[in-house]
Chains A and B, each alone.
Chain A
């Protein structure tokens, strides 16, 4: 006597905007008539924060996990206690996606998977049954996105990198005291970027006395958790892609092209409890593993 419970959303990509109605069906598939004590559907959304182990010492007062911040929590009853007929039963549902209306509320944030900050939305369906049987459960994630804003004016940024522009003591090679001679030019078309568009730009090696091993473009998230008393700030890598491999021809612009990954990025966010920011690093690795990086803070937006 087996029975299964699944949630199927109408929208294939499971992306919803605030104010929209989440529609779908709960599918009950049972091999025999199924008696139950009621079928409920719950929509939950929360922010999970975590303090990095590095900074844990400062916050002795808390445990590593800070209590999750609830963004949304509504539930409806799909079916009253009764009996499910044998076979497949589809129960359609509709739920409006509206955030909590309170002064402390953050509103609905975009779904985001980070290291220390996670914003998640789930639909949970549960079927209570007589006390001898375990309740049947099913859950399904869905994603929330902001509505698209108007596109902001692009803010291009240019920079030149040479031994002279390096911060003293920045790299490991500086200790060796043998900084090769080089002259790089990098350009990012805009530091204000739309999430579903690639970040573009170009890089040019004008001069370099040693061979280049690789030039990489690194997307870094900077997550800050905490409150007025103290906070932890951690930068971790989201994605690292290579734009040049091997010793490239000098004085030729090589395009930068970075597609922002879904889920792992979200619009740059700042709330009283946490902040999510993004940065871009251009790293040039020379043949002897000497590393030069240039950092660009960027602003991510949900825009057209």
Chain B
């Protein structure tokens, strides 16, 4: 193989566009921003979100939350038709377990758990049989010690331990049941229900109730299933289908035995609980007994003096009844609710107050223990009542009449549906106003009411204003700032949807005044203020209006610590851009406000800021920059960009956006403006780019700058950009950090450099410089300077591309131009000297490629070598002058090499050959024949 081949490019005489072209009105790559921003295209947006969401790995906690939300939404859909109580109960059940937790130590008393200290079960007995003498007593106590079922008390359990113990008892019941120790199972169940009379750790009581009610349910199911099996074998028979008359004597007898056992339980609470858990089983005696039994139980619960214990047993009764009768059971909810209302004042007994006081519970915490229970009773009741409004009226009157009506009021407000509550809202507010000073549940009531009002239909009328004024009177006297903000949140939404901007502004001013007056550090409440602001932004019909209120920005900037301020700014910007309908923001006040927020965001960035944070901040600022528009005032717009550059210097991505924006500005203004703008813009970008961190980005922007400069025929500027670009090439890293991973850059680099080479075709040469093809030669020198690995595909691909460019540069007329720029074809007119320089470069590159070929062969990279050989071969037959002997022989050598590596059946080789075959020129024919000979 000869070591030197001189490259000669062929001059194509007949240069004509052979590609089909058609006229279009739109740029095919233009992004359709408008569509995305419009509300009408919600579905599109949604589908986009859906797509994007599947790519993002969802935080597992968030996923649970979403699942919960999905679960929660289900019952509300169903509530119109038949209500599935067991499903709703399971939702409520989870809610209770999550809400009522404790860090206090718990106590469990049971004889079926290991450990714990013994307590004598005789104390109760001794009182009854008082005529036992001391000796007998002592002996009995000793006997008791030996008895395995002696009662043990385990104290100091944590909540988790307690839960585990309860589950253990549940398992114990099942185990005992399976081993035919049914009485033992029964005893464990009784002991479980006894635990419910203990209110020593009140804030855990609702959860305890839930846990134990599950145990009782399981026990009831065991009994029921066994009786069913005894009666009907394994036949799958539903409760409704059981005919008491068909139950065999033995099953009936067993059932009766259970009932007798249950009826003889000494203590009231376990007896009631056990009867409820066995309620289903009455069906084996007589179906008609169940309903009277429920009615009896409802009244028997009156015997429970402790209001907390009493209401939860009512909850259990309703739960059992609803499982039995479904829709029919709703009357029992109502009956129980009525009973509860009769006993309502028990809750406020001084004795209870003493008890919860001793447990360091606050009054509102104490009252909140009742809420899930009342909710449940009210829920079932509401489903029976045909006219909810009358019931609401009745209950409200009751609230008016009774003392301490707040708990009831809260449950009414949260339990009823919005339309009815809205109808009665002023009455409710009046009731609240009357006793606002002593209410401990004031803020939950008000915020619940506010939430209802948020659902009101849009109507601007006097009543809303009156309502809001009354509300403000109550609220502005509230002592606790946290509560104030909690209430403010829904009401501000109400105000935003219903009231005028002036009104909202007044409320905001009032809020600021309140916050300042309260004398507590405002930063403690920053998250709450944030929620309020977020609520406002989300609910106000026109977001921009909010920025026009003079009290809005002061409220946003009420918080002082940098962290809180950043969070606030971020929230506001996020929601604002989410809601903002218009593509452009033109109002100066809004622009200034947003600028302020963006600056806050920017200020918070420092060396330790995490990448995600940076990304979010820069995305927000980018959005801001993109939306701000000064319409036709390009000078203002440019000034704005200058200002932004100085304000957001820390964020690369923002600078990038700015450069793009400036180019866009220059481009937009081109036809009508004088050249100063394009120059200013070009200068802007040239000055801005060096401050970027990433070399790759810088290179891209330089190239873009060059393009933009060429478009406005600023050749000097373009050249400067390209020169900077070339000098940057060695600095481009092999890898860049992207989403926390190192990603190789070479694909990007190939694209970028190819783009650059294509640009060079247009760029006129610098006539002042001594060398021809000034930039290109600079580039080639740079390429030589970099120590590439010869076998790197990046390297030889670039060499091939450069070869392509060199061939094209030798043409008399280039294949593309830009209007107003005189390219080298016209500049030199295929001058001999210029062509020589180019051919010289081409020869060198060709030489280098042959070296690469050899290196590939040495490295045993056969596939790559084969491809490269063919690529080069292709360039020779396409672009080389085949009349030159050196070219032909090189082509033949390459072909031979390729055939040696792989046979000619390869698709690529075949295509090349067939193309050559079609070549009509004499030289082509000659070469083709020669190739066939070999």
Contact = CB atoms under 8 A, between A and B. Distances in A.
Interface string A240-259: 11111111110011110111
A243 B296 CA distance: 13
B128 A237 contact: yes
Contact of A254 (B267, B299, B309, B345): B299
A246 B306 contact: yes
Contacts of A255: 296, 299-300, 302
B864 interface: no
A239 B267 CA distance: 11
Interface string B690-726: 0000000000000000000000000000000000000
Contacts of A246: 304-306, 309
B167 interface: no
Category for how many chain A residues contact B: 20 to 34
Nearest to A258: B263
B402 to A, nearest CB: 14
Contacts of B14: none
A261 B264 contact: yes
Nearest to A200: B296
A212 interface: yes
A259 B305 contact: no
A242 B300 contact: no
A215 interface: yes
B597 interface: no
Interface string B649-664: 0000000000000000
Given A13-B249, A244-B305, A259 B269 contact: no
**Interface SS of chain B:** helix
A212 B306 CA distance: 11
Contact of B303 (A13, A245, A261): A245
A11 to B, nearest CB: 8
B205 to A, nearest CB: 14
B679 interface: no
A252 B296 contact: no
B303 A244 contact: yes
B346 A249 contact: yes
B302 A259 contact: no
Contacts of B265: 241
Contact of B305 (A239, A245, A257): A245
A257 B263 CA distance: 9
B130 to A, nearest CB: 10
A240 B266 CA distance: 6
Nearest to A244: B303
B263 to A, nearest CB: 4
A81 interface: no
A12 B306 contact: no
Contact of A248 (B128, B259, B302, B345): B302
Contacts of A249: 302, 305, 342-343, 345-346
A211 interface: yes
Contacts of A13: 249, 253
Interface in A204-256: 211-212, 215, 237, 239-249, 252-255
Category for how many chain B residues contact A: 20 to 34
Interface string A1-39: 000000000011100000000000000000000000000
A252 B129 CA distance: 31
A248 B268 CA distance: 13
Most chain A CB atoms below 10 A, which of B129, B259, B303, B345:
B303
Interface string B303-322: 11110010000000000000
Interface string B180-197: 000000000000000001
Contacts of B343: 249, 252
Nearest to B129: A237
Given A247-B349, A247-B351, A215 B303 contact: yes
A67 interface: no
Given A12-B253, A254-B303, A259 B260 contact: yes
Contact of A243 (B264, B303, B309): B303
A239 B305 CA distance: 22
Contacts of A242: 266-268, 271, 303
A255 B266 CA distance: 16
A262 interface: yes
A13 B342 CA distance: 44
A237 B133 CA distance: 18
A239 B264 contact: yes
Contacts of A240: 128, 266
B250 interface: yes
Given A12-B249, A12-B250, A257-B300, A248 B305 contact: yes
A258 B302 CA distance: 16
Nearest to B262: A259
B303 A211 contact: no
Contacts of A12: 249-250, 253
7 smallest A-B Cβ distances: which pairs? A246-B305, A259-B263, A244-B303, A242-B268, A247-B305, A12-B249, A248-B305
18 contacts: A11-B249, A13-B253, A212-B305, A237-B128, A240-B128, A241-B264, A242-B268, A246-B309, A247-B349, A247-B351, A252-B302, A253-B302, A254-B299, A255-B296, A255-B299, A255-B302, A258-B263, A259-B264
Given A249-B343, A252-B343, 14 more contacts: A237-B128, A246-B305, A246-B306, A247-B351, A249-B305, A249-B345, A249-B346, A252-B342, A254-B300, A254-B303, A259-B259, A259-B263, A261-B260, A261-B263
Interface of A: 11-13, 54, 198, 211-212, 215, 237, 239-249, 252-255, 257-259, 261-262
